[in-house]
Structure 1
Amino acid sequence: MRCLNCGMEIINNLKITEIFSFKEIIPNYICNLCREQLSPLAGRNNCPHCFKPDSFEICSDCQIWEQKYQEINCHQALFEYNQFIHSYFKLYKRYGDVLLAKLFYQDIKSWSLKNQFDVITYIPASRGHFQQRGFDPVYELYADIFDLKKLLVKVDADKPQAQKNRLERMRTPQTFLGLPEINLIPRNQRILILDDIYTTGRTLMYAHDIFSEQGFQNISTFSLSR
């Protein structure tokens, strides 16, 4: 197997116990050279609300959200946003290399096996972005791992979040609508909302609002990068 990012051959040195165990062997699509360029968030002093790396306390973004919301998201993420992640999403989203959706399969799958939820949904692409790319990047990133339910619709904004500065992101108006299928979910269910990147939290907070306004209380969020 070759790395989906750089094409280098991936050598998986499985232990004898792994080969003969009954546990699922999770496929790996990223080579060690590329993996060394990642900055994992696990075990660091992250913000307790949003997982912002090396915050040591509640970060400034979450302090702003605390002034607006009584309850803040329980968010987790896998990797710090760095140059490698930036380049990855440029290839994946801007240039439409949909095969890269599987690059972090092993990492996301491993996280999913340790964290259980009743209902898992995701931040959908707006109609304009879907037509432009031809695929929904967040859906493709997680579709082979989670049993995803489409419960949200995102309307086209004035311009993409990636083109906004921090203040513009924070002031972005609500862009989500809940689908009727939300009404079929028992209100005591544990909800997980997936996104690709957590920057200020504005997008996920608005998605959180849709479920909170419908009476859900156990709502968590997750992203590949923070």
Structure 2
Amino acid sequence: MRFVLVHSPLTGPQAWGPTAAVLASRGFEVTRPALPPWAALAPPFYRSLAAVTAAQYLGQDGPYVLVVHSGAGGLAPALAATGGEVAAVLYVDAIPPHPGRSWFDTAADALAQSLRDKAEEGCVPAWDQWFPPDALGSLLPDEAQRKAFLAGLSPTPLAWLEEPAPEVELPEHVGWGFLRLSKAYEREAGEARRLGWPTLRRDLHHLAMATHPQETVDGILALTRLLGLKP
């Protein structure tokens, strides 16, 4: 079984590095797709992002367990529908499916308005600039790791944040689960439970896959087993 770790379009694949290493050390095959620069994509962004991401793992040995983080949650339905042997989709502190609604529609009103106010030349600032200056340092205290993470960030097109997620029918054979890493995603965890998904909670933080990879992998594997798969 192959785990495909999909990073948020707001960040880069660096955050998944430690978790990918732990999965590999436990004998699992791991793919960590990297999304291209926004300038290389064109609207509709959701479908473009899904196509580019899927192209990096389709054709490899399956079945696949897609593991999506944060803003990649909105991409997951399109990814699961692209073909290949997708057995399960695990949301890790991620936004549940929101067909017909935009990223802005899922965000708190204050955050959405703040980002619109900060937009310049059609883009909002890079993700780390959405928060107080010391916020990222508290999540990623290791300087080298923090610098690597920052290197994967860039301004984000306002058009993507405003674009409604496509209407995609969720494949019936695919299992869906939710791993909550931070209290900030308690609302999303509650929505996952309302959808009938197995849901696990860890009191860590939003980037815990980078700083607590063992605990993150334990949660991923536990969810996989709850969905009836044998990792």
TM-score normalised by L of structure 2: 0.32
Indicate the structure with greater helix content.
Answer: 2
TM-score normalised by L of structure 1: 0.32
Higher relative contact order (CA 8 A, sep 6+): 2
